[in-house]
Amino acid sequence: MDLICAVFSVLPGKSNAARDFMRQLDTERKGEFDRSERRIGITKEVWFLAQGAGGDQLVGYMESENFKDAIGMFSQSQEAFDLWFKRRFAEVTGVDFNNLPPDMKLPELLSSYQT
């Protein structure tokens, strides 16, 4: 099981848009979000908005049997919900999931505790 935590800087003035985006995932887009996550193999995804020295940040935690495959499928997806998600994410962070760097490295897990 891959455990991934990633941090993305929120663009200046976009914190409320980030809140709205995440609210939509938990409300009117919840069914689509569920179908997308199941299709690409994400079993858990949690998002936080954190204040950092350089401004607000979106912090995402994900679990997947194979995160590299999951992010690859998501990056290549042309499904309507996935395109919406990628567009909204880019609007608040500037990160384009349609064009991930080929040499992108996953975060290094240093410690994990579970009962």
Q: Which domains does the chain have, with CATH numbers?
A: 2-95 (3.30.70.1090)
At residue 96, the 3 state secondary structure works out as: coil
Interatomic CA distance for residues 82 and 105, integer angstroms: 22
The two three-digit tokens of residue 57, written as one number: 């940040």
Burial environment of residue 18 by CB neighbours within 10 A (0 to 12, 13 to 18, 19 or more): buried
Query: Rounded to two decimals, what is the model's pTM?
Result: 0.91
Bridge partners of residue 51, in order along the sequence: 56
The two three-digit tokens of residue 25, written as one number: 């995932």
What's the pLDDT band for 9 if we cut at 50, 70, 90? very high
Res. 104: pLDDT tops 80: no
Res. 42: pLDDT tops 80: yes
Each residue of 68-83: pLDDT tens digit? 999 999 999 999 999 9
